[in-house]
Structure 1
Amino acid sequence: MSSDGSNDGEHRTSYTTAGAGYTRDARYITTRITRDGEDGYPVEPGRYRLVAARACPWANRTLIVRRLLGLEDALSVGLPGPTHDDRSWTFDLDPDGVDPVLGIHFLRDAYLRRDPGYPLGITVPAIVEVSSGAVVTNDFAQITLDFSTEWTDYHREGAPDLLPAAHRDEMDQVMRRIYTEVNNGVYRCGFAGSQESYDEAYDRLWTALDWLEERLTSQRYLVGDTITEADVRLFTTLARFDPVYHGHFKCNRQKLTELPALWAYARDLFQTPGFGDTIDFEQIKQHYYVVHHDVNPTGIVPKGPNLAGWLTPHHREQLGGRPFGDGTPPGPVRDGERVTAGHSPLA
């Protein structure tokens, strides 16, 4: 998520021409934290801190994967508040508004430690080296892949395989379409600068959602019979669909609750340890409706929707599948990382 309230609130954006379609700026700090430390940053427990706002779907991915793999002891987490000004994400939820490990109020400070002239947006998720206070990477797509492949020495016993080799080619194809048409598609609708660009974005989004509805009618998970990275990537958009994207971003052909397979699939994942226990619906709404001044100039945050349905039976187990494959569910959420009481049906 970018710190610039005039853009999408998630990542830096640009517009092809005034009043035209939305194009996401995909330039990131692509340094990687790897087992061999090829980029100068080897995997080491306690060396880094993940900064991930609960409001952000891209950051939410990292919170889910970190929890599923059991990386809590190896990689601490800092949680900025849901809103920010034009300068940066801020640690408003911590005592005195300062992250207790990094000692900063503005996430921007960690970016400037890396590059005093840093020219791009201040985004989450970001991984910061604790000793230097500098951002190592904010490449959100690569971060979760590296959690699965480079941090294996620190996975919990029973951690699932989120990138099964037998399905990797199919996963990559599915994830690519989910990213372009759904994860990013809702933003193309919400930040369209003309009726023509909005209509095109809307049609693309719903073509993809219809494809997913059909795919998930006959299989429990997106690829194979276990939860994979592809499910994580789709889930964070679905969790935000009715509270935000349906109205705020005008993605309003149907609500998620009106799509039988996708709604049951989303509930199935939400009720799976590691997914719903990372979702803070209040922070999600506060971010989108307060920060996006151009879309919602009044800053009024809606009270709805009713969230009780997230805990209703989904019956997806009838399709078979093994959520964690040969692994096991993660344990209880760690102290200090629980969603605020009242902000979720699980809280």
Structure 2
Amino acid sequence: MAQGTYVEASFERDTNYIEDRITVAGDGEHEWPVEAGRYRLVVARACPWANRAIIVRRLLGLEDVLSMGICGPTHDSDSWTFDLDPGGVDPVLGIPRIKDAYEKRFPGYPRGITVPCVVDVPTGEVVTNGFAQLTLDLSTQWREHHRDGAPDLYPEALREEMDELMRFVYTEVNNGVYRCGFAGTQEAYDAAYERLWVALDRLEERLADRRYLMGESITEADVRLFTTLARFDAVYHGHFKCNRQKLTEMPVLWAYARDLFQTPGFGDTTDFVHVKSHYYEVHRDINPTGVVPAGPDLSGWAEPHGREDLGGRPFGDGTPPGPPPEGERVPTAHNPHVGPDGLVRV
């Protein structure tokens, strides 16, 4: 398996994505109509950007209207692959590599083959891989198909503040760990390290007196921060050298992360085996041996967090989602806190 290279003198993420959207109107040159059963969300549980989409889809109850294909945790320099499926072929799209859907629409597609992405099932063509807008559209454009009791993850009254906060979380934390991990010079690493910890300290302070980032209920901002925190001790602390402290040594963020982990939709979509396999096996220019570490100890994720003392209602006026579909459940062997019903046991 030919692996790509990731280390750069100073890491800059390629942010040129396919920015098409699936909308209620669906009548623009780059807009597609919302339609139950037409599209397939393609993800990898290892990927933090894809994990966002998995969580949002589950919280909103879109499983029956937007199917999901799951790639394996590792990929080569060419594409993510459906090696978890029988015969290594996605059962709905009928392809072994998600690159095939990109090439179907854009022959010779020159950019990275990324997840999450959405594929138009009738044509087999990729629609979008613009992960930031994708989840917001699931909240705002797919409302007709939300489950009863679905939370409002992008409240209109909070959007201006949320958008600013989510930009901060993305640039300083979600992407900040990558700036550390892929830094190719000491100078670039030192700058990235300092920038990351300034941001984490700021979030530790923000969450000291509020249960969630925007106040009393979970929003998309929490989803975006959680996927980085869930991977922090498992990969970012060691593999990406983000090692001033472990998450477990930051009292507020650790309690906040446990609170979310124990909330349906978060911990039950977290696959620690896939996470570690991806980072340690794929990034061979950082970890040449491909050896995956046995730790860390995951038992702490189920410990009481005490965040309920801050009040709030996780789902606002809504309700928790039910168990995930059987075919989408994280194996207990990959997350010891997931029970046979697919929910986190506390």
TM-score by length of 1: 0.95
* Runs of at least 5 residues in structure 2 that lack an aligned partner in the other structure: 339-346
Partner of 2:316: 325
Q: CA deviation at 1:4?
A: 8.5
The amino acid that maps onto 1:125 is P
Inter-partner Cα distance in structure 1 for 2:31 and 2:251: 48
Secondary structure (helix, strand or coil) at the match of 1:41 reads strand
Q: Is the CA contact 1:183–1:234 (under 8 Å) kept in the aligned structure 2?
A: yes
Q: Deviations over 1:45-84 (max 9, x none)?
A: 0000000100000000000000000000110000000011
Q: Could you tell me whether the CA contact under 8 Å between 2:4 and 2:76 is conserved in 1?
A: no
Number of equivalenced pairs: 336
Change (3 A) 1:4 1:32: farther
Q: Which residue, out of 45, 59, 69, partners 2:60?
A: 69
The answer to whether the 8 A contact 2:46-2:271 is kept is yes
Structure-1 residue corresponding to 2:38 = 47
Determine whether 1:25 maps to 2:14: yes
Deviations 1:10-69 (A, max 9, x none): xxxxxxxx9621100100001111001123520000000000100000000000000000
For 2:103, which of 96, 112, 123 is the aligned residue?
Answer: 112
Matches within 5 A, 1:1-347: 5-8=3-6, 20-38=9-27, 39-347=30-338
Task: Give the CA deviation at 1:87.
Answer: 1.6
Partner of 1:13: none
Paired with 1:5 and 1:161, the residues of 2 have a C-alpha distance of 40
Are the equivalent residues in 1 in contact too, given 2:43–2:116 (CA < 8 A)? yes
Q: Distance in 2 between matches of 1:68 and 1:167?
A: 19
Q: Whole-Å Cα distance in 1 between the matches of residues 332 and 188 of structure 2?
A: 40
CA contact (8 A) 1:167 1:224 kept: no
Secondary structure (helix, strand or coil) at the match of 2:328 reads: coil
Cα RMSD, aligned residues only: 1.3
Query: What is the distance in 2 between the residues matched to 1:297 and 1:4?
Result: 13
**Structure 1 alignment gaps of length 5 or more:** 9-17
In structure 1, the partner of 2:343 is none
How many angstroms apart in 2 are the aligned matches of 1:281 and 1:7? 23
Note the C-alpha offset of 1:193: 1.1
1:97-147 deviation per Cα after TM superposition (whole angstroms, max 9, x unaligned): 110000011111000001112111110001000011010000000000000
Q: Give 4+ residue runs of structure 1 displaced > 4 Å after superposition.
A: none
CA distance in 2, matches of 1:29, 1:188: 23
Q: Residue 7 of structure 1: CA displacement?
A: 4.1
Instruction: Tell me the distance in 1 between the aligned counterparts of 2:143 and 2:215.
Output: 22
> How much identity, in percent, do the aligned residues show?
70
Q: Distance in 2 between matches of 1:87 and 1:310?
A: 35
Q: Which secondary structure state, in structure 1, belongs to the residue aligned with residue 12 of structure 2?
A: strand
Q: Distance in 2 between matches of 1:188 and 1:84?
A: 21
In 2, Cα distance between equivalents of 1:6 and 1:86: 4
CA distance in structure 1 between the partners assigned to 2:313 and 2:67 by the alignment: 29
SS of 1:143 mapped into structure 2: helix
Identify the range of structure 1 (32-41 vs 78-87) with the bigger mean alpha-carbon deviation: 32-41
Give the drift of 1:224. Answer: 2.2
* Distance (whole Å) between structure 2 residues aligned to residue 77 and residue 68 of structure 1: 14
TM-score by length of 2: 0.95
Is residue 238–residue 266 contact of structure 1 (8 Å, CA) maintained in 2? yes
Within 1, Cα distance between the matches of 2:46 and 2:2? Answer: 15
Does structure 2 retain, via aligned residues, the 8 Å contact 1:43–1:151?
yes
CA distance in 1, matches of 2:77, 2:163: 35
